[in-house]
Structure 1
Amino acid sequence: MLSLGQLLIFGLLVNIGSLVKSSDNCTLRPRGSTKFPKNFSLGVATSAYQIEGGWNADGKGPSIWDEFTHENPDRIKDRSNGDSAANSYQLFDLDLKALKELKVDHYRFSIARTRIFPNGDVSSRNQKGIDYYNTVIDKLLANGIEPMVTMYHWDLPAEIQKLGGFTNSVIINYFIAYAEELIINFGDRVKTWITFNEPMQTCKPGYGEGGSAPGIKSPGVGDYICFNNILKAHAATYHLYRSKYFEKQGGRMGITLDTFFGVSKTNNEADVDRALQYLLGILAHPIYSKTGGYPEIMVKDIAKNSQAEGRKVSRLPDFNEYWKATIRGTFDFLGLNFYTSKYVERPSEPLGENPSMLRDYDIEETADPKWLKAKSNWLYCYPLGLEGLLKFVREEYDNVEVKITENGWSDEGELDDNNRILYYKSHLQAVLNAIHDGSNITSYSAWSLVDNFEWSKGYTEKFGLYSVNMKSPKRERVAKKSAIYYRKVIETRSIPDEF
């Protein structure tokens, strides 16, 4: 197989329009400059459990995803797990080679919590895990690549889950201790920290619906408690960093949230706003709004529904004035993961079981059959949605600095991944258009560097710029056509029609 460099040398210029038979909904016209700002950072993202493997190597303890996949293989589409994955723990140099070929400005990766504290407690501190990430960070910096580090990407130590995980407030102090260990060991070189990745995907399927690790089914109760504790843990970590380490280290810290963008068939802005408040505002409003606390619409709805259920208090554990003030303003930027859009409208009949977040949400989601669809059944190409989301964030949260921390497309794993190229082209254009309109966007991370373990879908859906030979112990990485295109974006600081 040819390397990315060889493909670039021998490849022909190909017009994207000739590659993909698609609807106009997956294309976007530029407004203003077609060049990214001078200091705009382009990179890629991964997460530890999805690529590292080495699940019990060098003292690493079990996480909730280790236990979930081992004990419930039927819950994973191909009955696989992340035990070996792309084996980046032992083969990081292959990832580094790919990063250098792409010429990325930054690399967003997460730290496996159970490599640092195998049982979740400071008493289990594991120097070999710390040594591994020191090596990763040093090699990135030696090659001019900025490390963008996520502290938590869904791999809670199994021992902490025995205490209730994110439904027990003791998780706050456990997370602070873990975060401080990372800051002490890596903060002299890591200048961009993300506390949590996608709390919505930690809490709703993990503690509400039960479809993801740790598999707790407590809809409309456990998920809300989980949100509450994650927001408190994030805020406490931010204050610790600013008060104790910022003066010496000078880094920046934020949280990464995710949402789709709601599109109304009837231009009903109330439905669009409702969807965004429930899916993004539940986590963004307490941190990024001027008033703090949960969105008013959620507080009222859930209190009303709780009363109708015979409860004396709301299922949504709202914050007292101390916690509102403590959480509000705990950011240097907003990390935003965006993949898709959906139509949203109020349903004719209540959805979901009672109680549940879905019942409180009271929005029906559908997709346009004309939209280009990925391998994932939830993923469609509609770049106007990203523009709409960035406009909402700009107006709702005082034009906070945004880092696009994930954006990507799934397929069967083909090397001629033309739809992924079209997706990246249109969504990068959406970012440029939003910048033209005044949005404060400073970086973009493509998901993902390599094909990885995709949670409940196992290895049946591929998001990587590089294919990984999962049948080989060497886990060879092979550049896809999209890798060639993305390198061209980085080299030219623009969105080329040809590559």
Structure 2
Amino acid sequence: MYGDKFEITRLPSLPPSEVPSKSKVVWEKISQQTKFERQLYHYGTFQEGFYWGVSSSAYQVEGGWNADGKGPNVWDTFTQKPGNIPNNDNGDVACDSYNKIDEDLHMLRALKVKTYRFSLSWSRIFPSGYKSSLNQKGVDYYNRLIDGLIANNIAPMVTLYHWDLPQVLQDINGWDNPEIINIFNEYCDFCYATFGDRVKFWITFNEPQTIAWLGYGLGQIPPNVNQPGDAPYRVAHNLLKAHAQAYHTYDEKYRASQRGLISISLNAEWAEPLDVNAPREVMAADRALQFQLGWFAHPIFKNGDYPDAMKWQVGNKSELQGLTDSRLPSFTDKDKAFIQGTADVFSISTYTTKVVRHVTSRLDIASYETDQDVKKDEAEGHINTAVNEQKVVAWGIRRLLNWLKEEYGDPKIYVTENGVATGTDITVDDTDRIFFLKTYVDEALK
């Protein structure tokens, strides 16, 4: 995780979505670049004040799944059912960070990081998801962690939601239920009031596209809902409204006294056109980025509404499928004004690059994936990792950062996730990770 130093900024005024994308200059640049130029190593240094950090998430590291009054979340429910995860692994203990704050702080000091990004477990603070179920021991745990970080001159960067919804809230349909918007805001309000005197960087959601698509479309992660044609769009609609409300709550009640930043961590892989000189393939690559990243970034960082590419694609396919309304919900003018500009910096998670080409998808399959009319393939000739879909393609991060700069008006950017998956048999002399970090960081420096 890396980015510029924390400071309060405001996003510049941006043109409406109807104005042709400025990002076309990125395609023009890369179309002239040779493979040799693409892979040249750059020698230089990052500017003073550049923030280096590491990150984690509650379910992945805390353990203590039912310790001291914590309530179950959707990942507890899912992983504790035999057969759902290989080897029946789960996060009941994980890295046991709940019981190892001192050890974690020691390792963070040794790494000499300036910031540590971690997430709060909603069900550890509110076991039932509601404020009325407040668990003080959960609050005490996070207070000890935050105080320990500050004592070691490490700035806490706190994610309010990293996929681990309290099970009680999933029982009322989770993020597919608009009622959760106010429930989430109540949780955020409590966290700002309780930890905001020390936390100066908040992230509302981690990778909302993953929540909507993998959680409610493909059903590959909890809550394992398989409704690919419409649920992802409804869920994303609620996530955007929940994010905006959480932003405004901080803005109106806490910003003046706490002087912190609010962001949302979006995810994207760079989309490389199959042929950078073929307009149809370039349009397909741009469309892939709009569906994955612009789905959330366009409403927040541009004009409060979805990208035109999404509205046209989903609306057109919905009509051809005999529907009277688009499967992509619409925002009212009031919604748009409420959502627009609700992030102080741009936070991005990225790991790899896909090669994208245009395809014409079948109409009898209603799906967020087929709505895009694109096909994504792995980039050939690149190093594999322990995750098949995440090949090491370092030059993609540079292109993605340039695309963000042009598309969203040159915002301050924080890379909130980037890393490489390795096998469990890798020793401490893990040259794979050294190579990954060296090349990706160099591309970011470029």
Q: Same fold (TM over 0.5)?
A: yes
Counterpart residue type for residue 111 of structure 1 = L
**Equivalent pair of 1:224/1:315 in contact (CA under 8 Å):** yes
SS of 1:188's equivalent in the other structure is coil
1:310 Cα deviation after fit: 1.6
Equivalent residue for 2:299?
286
Query: In the TM superposition, what whole-angstrom CA distance separates every residue of 1:289-339 from its partner, at most 9, and x where no partner exists?
Result: 1x2200001101111111122211111112111111100000111110010
The TM-score normalised by the length of structure 2 is: 0.89
Q: Are the counterparts in 1 of residues 284 and 373 from structure 2 also a CA contact under 8 Å?
A: no
In structure 1, the residue matched to 2:340 is 328
* 1:393 counterpart residue number: 404
1:224 counterpart letter in structure 2: Y
Question: Any conservation in 2 of the 1:26–1:426 contact (CA below 8 Å)?
Answer: no
Aligned position for 2:242: 233
Partner of 1:430: 443
Relative to structure 1, is the Cα distance of residues 186 and 345 closer, same or farther in structure 2, using a 3 angstrom cutoff? same
Q: In the alignment, which of 359, 367, 374 is matched to residue 363 of structure 1?
A: 374
- Provide the rounded CA distance (Å) in 1 between the counterparts of 2:372 and 2:152: 46
The match for 2:138 is 129
Q: Corresponding residue for 2:48? A: 38
**Matched residue, 1:223:** 232
- Give secondary structure in 2 for the equivalent of 1:183: helix
Aligned to 2:30: none
Higher relative CO (CA 8 A, sep ≥ 6), structure 1 or 2?
1
Q: Distance in 2 between matches of 1:203 and 1:427?
A: 28
Q: How far has the Cα of 1:402 moved from its partner?
A: 0.7
Q: Write the distance in 1 (CA, Å) between the matches of 2:38 and 2:423.
A: 22
Provide the secondary structure at the position in 2 that maps to 1:195.
strand
Partners of 1:25 and 1:283 in 2: CA distance: 35
Q: Which residue of 2 aligns with 1:51?
A: 61
Structure-2 separation of matches of 1:193 and 1:431 = 23
Change in 2 beyond 3 A, CA 1:132/1:58: same
| TM-fit CA distance, 1:62 | 0.4
Shift in Å at residue 269 of structure 1? 1.9
Q: Distance in 1 between matches of 2:361 and 2:323?
A: 19
| Cα distance between partner residues in 1 of 2:36 and 2:229 | 35
TM-score (norm 1): 0.79
- Whether 1:303 aligns to 2:303 is no
Which residue identity does 1:304 align to in structure 2? N
Call closer, same or farther: CA 1:281–1:101 in 2, change over 3 Å. same
1:398-457 deviations in Å (ceiling 9; x for gaps): 011111000000111312211111110111111111xxxxxxxxxxxxxxxxxxxxxxxx
- What are the residue-to-residue correspondences of 1:30-429 with 2, within 5 Å? 30-31=41-42, 34-71=44-81, 73-267=82-276, 268-289=281-302, 291-347=303-359, 349-350=360-361, 354-413=365-424, 414-415=426-427, 416-429=429-442
By how many angstroms is 1:156 displaced? 0.3
Query: How many Å separate the matches in 2 of 1:75 and 1:353?
Result: 30
- Note the C-alpha offset of 1:353: 6.9
Shift of 1:96: 1.1
Deviation at 1:176, TM superposition (A): 0.2
Alignment check: 8 A CA contact 2:379 2:393 kept: no
Instruction: Summarize deviations over 1:458-499 as a string: whole Å, max 9, x none.
Output: xxxxxxxxxxxxxxxxxxxxxxxxxxxxxxxxxxxxxxxxxx
Distance 1:380 1:157 in 2: 33
Question: How far did 1:53 drift?
Answer: 0.5
Which structure 2 segments of 5+ residues have no match?
1-34
Counterparts in 2 of 1:419 and 1:342: CA distance versus 1, 3 Å: same
* Alpha carbons of structure 1 residues 83 and 304: separation in structure 2 relative to 1, 3 Å: same
Find the aligned partners of 2:400 and 2:252 in 1 and give their Cα distance.
33
Shift of 1:143: 0.5
Q: 1:217 to 1:247 in 2, by over 3 A?
A: same
Q: Partner letter of residue 113 of structure 2?
A: V
The corresponding residue for 2:8 is: none
Structure-2 residue corresponding to 1:9: none
State the secondary structure of the residue aligned to 2:229. coil
- Structure 1 unaligned residues grouped into runs of 5+: 1-23, 434-499
Contact 1:53 1:85 in 2 (8 A): yes
C-alpha contact 1:219 1:357 (8 A) present in aligned 2: yes
- Answer whether contact 2:317 2:363 (CA < 8 A) is retained: no
Identity of aligned residues (%): 42
CA distance in 1, matches of 2:169, 2:251: 26
CA drift of 1:30 comes to: 4.5
Cα offset for 1:74? 2.0
User: In 2, Cα distance between the equivalents of 1:61 and 1:153?
Assistant: 16
Q: Distance in 1 between matches of 2:228 and 2:286?
A: 23
Q: Which amino acid aligns with 2:51?
A: S
Residues 27, 383 of structure 1: 8 Å contact kept: no
Give me the whole-angstrom Cα distance separating, in 1, the residues matched to 2:331 and 2:219.
25
